Structures are given as structure tokens and as C-alpha cells.
Amino acid sequence: MPAPALLTLDRIAAARPDGTALFSDLTLAVGRERIGLVGRNGCGKSTLLAIVAGEAQPKAGHLHRAGRIAMLRQIPVDAASVAEALGVAPALACLDRLDAGTGTAQDAAEADWTLRERLAEALEDVGLGHIALDRAPESLSGGERVRLALAAMLLEQPELLLLDEPTNNLDEEGRAAVAGLLARWPGGALVASHDRALLEGMDRIVQLSPVGVLSVSGGWSAFVAQRDAQRAQAEDALDRSRRDLAQRARGAQRQSEKKARRDKAGRATAAKGGLPRILLGARARQAEENGARERHSAQRQMAEAEGAVATARERVEVLTPLTIALPPTGLPANRTLLRLDAVTLERGGRPLFGPLSLTLTGPRRIAVAGSNGSGKSSLLAIIAGTLAPTGGAVQRAEGAIALLDQSVSLLPLDRDLVETMRARHPGITAGEAHAALARFAFRNRDALKPAGVLSGGERLRAGLAMVMAGPQPPQLLILDEPTNHLDLDAIEVLEEALRGYDGALIVVSHDERFLERIGVEERIRLGA
């Protein structure tokens, strides 16, 4: 007899505050398994987790929770200690008073004698067994804080975990800790993520979209195979609808030409005068009625065929991500774009990295690796010329290098994209700015949106449009964690664009699959 489900969702639907549908008809039973939630940014993954946690209400449908649920929360950096951040400081103080013989009767009644053991086990499970409980959370790295949040979740002794992008901003060690925890987890887990390595370890993948919910047994590779088959079916349906529309249009044209010949013959017969006028009138009325029926039938069939094409096209547009092509740079194989000579960087009086030497010639592809806080983003800023090194020398091909940082800060949040494009490239007209943005899929009114309302994928695409729109596109593109705020479709679009880019790349990313797919050839490791 199968174990009862920890969570049952019955025809759940969700919408944005403005009423726009996110997803509908989601029916899912979650047992002791790991389920990956995927979909484009804004599709409702976080909303679904909030509904499951009881923090939001579905637009329709019902859900039943049969197990204890815990959601991954951010650790408050301003907490006085790790114990306070975990919410266990008062309980530990109670145990300390009892151990010292100063506890009260109320302390004895409220004491959680299993807390220390559970706390040690939870911290060890996420690789933080060495962390002192009186340490200030602000002294921890970003990855350590995420792992501390995992420990806080485990302390609740849940049966179902809810994790929303748990590996974002984590270094390799932190990602391994999350993956290891999920691999060992005996309960259920709902994991919203764009980390393909993490998703590969899932038991099921569920994709949310406005056109339906796709559930596939297995990890990321199994999902991709079925998703791509679904996209191919949608493309075939669109082709069939277009062929049917063309066939109906030809049929309507033949009917029109046939009627024109009948009308011509009727007029010729009437001109001869061989038939009574009353019979000619009856024939004319019958011809007109027949023609009206034929026109109405043809119009109805054309409308149905056009509707089928529109429906098929909409499904293709939802299922198939857009594509972008970066313009050629014409980078010669023998041109040196960058030379670092014994570059060092200090922060707060202590060495961060270096001495580092590097010569980049031609279209090489380099990844900068290292743990969180090792100085990867600082090195990119030194290469781009926005930060001076503490020591050493930097030579760069001025005007041939472009940096897109994690927040794509070259986009002012309150300016629309056309305005930003014209400010960055003085002299171009509004029409030329629209044309440059259209090459990156910002067409018509989309080009007039302020950057502040764009999704992560749209911001990166807009940043690429800005740096690539000049008369000479940059021959060295520097990208700092470009996939951090992208959904999986947007990551695949970026991978395709960078594979076709003929310039050099320097990239910081913890996404190994992304680095492989864009053809990274060598690595620089900081903090080793």
C-alpha cells in the first residue's frame, strides 16, 4: 500500500494581483519525493510555494496538507548571533540556566532537552558544524548564510521542504551542500530552481505556464526531452494550421471565380432574350441566394482557419523562447585585448588575491572561479577599468571591452530603453534606437518600458543591446554571474547567443553547465 501524500493539490489556479492568470488546473500529489518547479520568470513558482505554505490563497482549487511543512527563509544579517538568527537563543539560555542550577520551575517546564542534539545535527547536515553559536551572522559569507537558513528549516523537523532558488549566489561548496541535503532528505521537497545540476537530481519536474502544466518523471534531462517534443508538436500544429488556411483561401478563390463565370453566362443568356423575364428573375434570385450562402460558408471557414492559426501561433510563442544573435566583432586571432602583470588587490588591509598575471589574445573564453568573497567581481571591475588594483599593471584595448555586472547597472531604472540607448550612443535617432532594440526582441512599446519593470532575463537582454549597438561591438565581453536572475528559457537563449559570438569572453558563473555550453576553455581560480 503506497504511503499517503504529504500534500495534495486539486485543480489549483493562481493569478497576479491584476487578475492575469499565472497557471491553472494544477493537480499534484506530493509524497516523499523531490519535485523541481520550473517555468519562466513570473510564471508563479514563488506564488505556488506561498500557497502551499499557507501564506497566499489560490484563485481556485483546493489543497490538503498532511505533513509538517517548512519553507527556506533568509537569515537576518542584523541578528546578534547565529543562535538568535536560528530562533533558538531563548531556548538555549533556558537550558544553560538549568545546567548551572539557576533555572526556575518555568524553565524546567519549558525546557527542550533535545534542542542541542537537533541543532548540532542540523548544522552538521548543511556543512556548518564548525560555526560558533555566538558568532554574528553579518560575519558569514552569503553562501554560509544560505546554509544557515537550511539548518533553520531542518530544526522545524518538517516532512515537506519548500525551497525557492536555494542555490542562487552560492559558490560550489554551498551548492554541493544544498544538493547533498536534498539527496539525503527522506521526506518530500518542492524546489523552485533554475539550477540544472540540482534539477537533474529531482524525482519529478513540474513546469508551470499559462498554457498548461507539464509534469515529467525524472530529472532535468528527461524533462528537456519531453519539453522539446512538446515544442516540436506545437510547431507542427502551427504548420498544419497555416497549410489549412492557405488551402481554404485557394478554395474560396476558386468558388469566387466559379461564381463569376456563372454570372457571366447568366448575363449572356439574358442578353439573347430567349427566356421569359419572370424565369430570368427567378434564376437571378436563386443565383444570388446561392452566392450568399457560399460567401457565408467561405467566410466562416476562413475565420475558423485564421483562429486555428492564431491559437497555434500563441502556443508556439508561449512554449518556444525567443532567440537573439550578437553582431560580429571581427576580432583577429592575433589581437591582444588584455594584459595583467602581477595584479594584486587588498581589502581592509588584507590581501584578497594576487599576484595575478594574464594575457588574453584572440577569441579565448575564460571563467573566473573561486569561493564567495574571493574577489571575482572585483577582478572583473579591474579588467573593465572601473576599479584600480592595489598593485601590478593592467593594459587593455580601450573601447573594445564591455562589462555587464550582476544587476546590469548600466540601465537607469527610471529611463525607458530608447532613451537609455540614445544617451549611451549620442547621435543615433529614435528610429535607429528602436531598430537596435528590436534586434534584441524589444519591439514597439516594449522598447519604451523603463528598465525598472523588466525581468532578469529582459534586463540582461537590454544590457546586451546597449553594449552591442555601437558602430564597433565590443571584442571582449565580461559577464558577472549572468544566469543568477534568469529563468531556464532565458539561460538557454543566452547560451545560444554566446555560442555564436565571435569575440572573447571572461565570465564569472557557478553554473558549470552554462560554462560548458558557451565553450569556456580555461579557468582562473581565486583564493586557491
pLDDT per residue as tens digits for the range 17-73: 888 888 889 999 999 999 999 988 888 899 999 999 999 999 999 999 998 999 988
Output the domain CATH number for residue 109. 3.40.50.300
Asked if residue 192 is part of any domain, the answer here is yes
Any domain includes 187? yes
Any domain includes 324: no
Is the preceding omega at residue 355 within 30 degrees of 0, hence cis? yes
Same structural domain for residues 118 and 99? yes
In this prediction, residue 365 carries a pLDDT of 97
> Does some domain include residue 20?
yes
Considering the domain architecture, whether residues 17 and 89 belong to the same structural domain is answered as yes
The pTM of the full predicted model, rounded to 2 decimals, is 0.76
Assess if residue 87 is contained within a domain: yes
**Pairing relation of β-strands 7-15 and 21-30?**
antiparallel
- Within-domain flag for 195: yes
Final residue of a structural domain among 166, 200, 226: 226
Same domain, 236 and 222: no
pLDDT tens figures, 260-304 = 776 666 566 555 655 566 655 665 666 666 666 666 776 777 777
- Look at residues 319, 350, 370 and tell me which one is the last residue of a structural domain: 319
What was the pLDDT predicted at 42?
80
Q: Residue 394: what pLDDT?
A: 96
User: Residue 511's domain spans which residues?
Assistant: 336-525
Please tell me the total count of domains within the chain. 3
Judge if 285 and 369 occupy the same domain. Answer: no
- Domain annotation covers residue 330: no
Q: Secondary structure of 74-126 in the HEC alphabet?
A: CCCCCCCCHHHHCCCHHHHHHHHHHHCCCCCHHHHHHCCCCHHHHHHHHHHHC
Residues 205 and 74 in one domain: yes
Domain boundary among 209, 226, 243: 226
> Which residue ranges of the chain lie beneath pLDDT 70?
1-2, 259, 262-295, 298, 312, 314-321, 528
Say yes or no: 87 and 157 in one domain.
yes
Scan for cell 550578437, then name that residue.
Answer: 326
Query: Quick one: pLDDT at residue 298?
Result: 67
Other Cβ atoms closer than 10 A to 120: 12
- Residues in CB range of 281: below 8 A, 6 or more apart: none
Claim to verify: residue 290 and residue 419 sit in the same structural domain: no
- Domain presence at residue 2: no
Pair 44, 85 in one domain: yes
